A and B are shown apart, each in its own frame.
Chain A
Amino acid sequence: SAVISQKPSRDICQRGTSLTIQCQVDSQVTMMFWYRQQPGQSLTLIATANQGSEATYESGFVIDKFPISRPNLTFSTLTVSNMSPEDSSIYLCSVEMTRNFPDTQYFGPGTRLTVL
């Protein structure tokens, strides 16, 4: 498995501002993902962070709202742009070590975001 850290662990932000969440892994991983968990809900995949190229977004999520970077095999960022109270959620980074079948995804501790 991998040790995954996220920064910040929580934040309270004003509407209209942006927040960048960092995800750091202690070893090189093949795949990195970003999920959102709205209050009382299950997890929803936002996008797959691709190293060296644009992220692959799921239906309902767009790059302008959730720009993602992945400069190397151990680090990724997710920005939540022009925030509104509806963006209040837990944002989670997850990784897969390889592309072997089947592989296992491991999750970071999450970033709890509250937008006022």
Chain B
Amino acid sequence: DAKTTQPTSMDCAEGRAANLPCNHSTISGNEYVYWYRQIHSQGPQYIIHGLKNNETNEMASLIITEDRKSSTLILPHATLRDTAVYYCIVRFGNEKLTFGTGTRLTIIP
């Protein structure tokens, strides 16, 4: 079973920040939060991961709450190419990735 809960779908206006929430209330101390996205039947693309500190890279920012029970992926300036299914995954060590149903993000022109 996936250890995360995400909204089924979201819309965001082009050029605005897209904020994708994820609940992982049963996360344990050593589990990381990973984000991937899948653009229309392509292979999933790694975005970012974090443990407890906020993380930022060239694609996105990851904000993890202090109690680590939820997180938000932020795409700062969404473009049409960011339309995809976004998966939030909790993972311990090198255990297998378990994909849930994700959030279908649609960027609206």
Contacts and interface: CB of A to CB of B under 8 A. Distances in A.
Interface residues of A, number: 26
Helix, strand, loop or mixed for chain B's interface? Answer: loop
Where chain A touches its partner, the secondary structure class is strand
Contacts of A109: 42-43
A114 B54 CA distance: 42
Most chain A CB atoms below 10 A, which of B87, B93, B94, B101? B94
A104 B49 contact: yes
A102 B97 contact: no
Interface residues of B, number: 20
A101 B99 contact: no
Contacts of B81: none
Given A42-B99, A42-B102, A107 B94 contact: no
A45 interface: yes
B41 A112 contact: yes
22 contacts: A33-B96, A42-B100, A43-B44, A44-B99, A45-B97, A45-B98, A48-B96, A58-B96, A90-B41, A94-B44, A96-B94, A101-B93, A101-B94, A102-B49, A102-B94, A103-B94, A104-B34, A105-B97, A107-B43, A107-B46, A108-B43, A110-B43
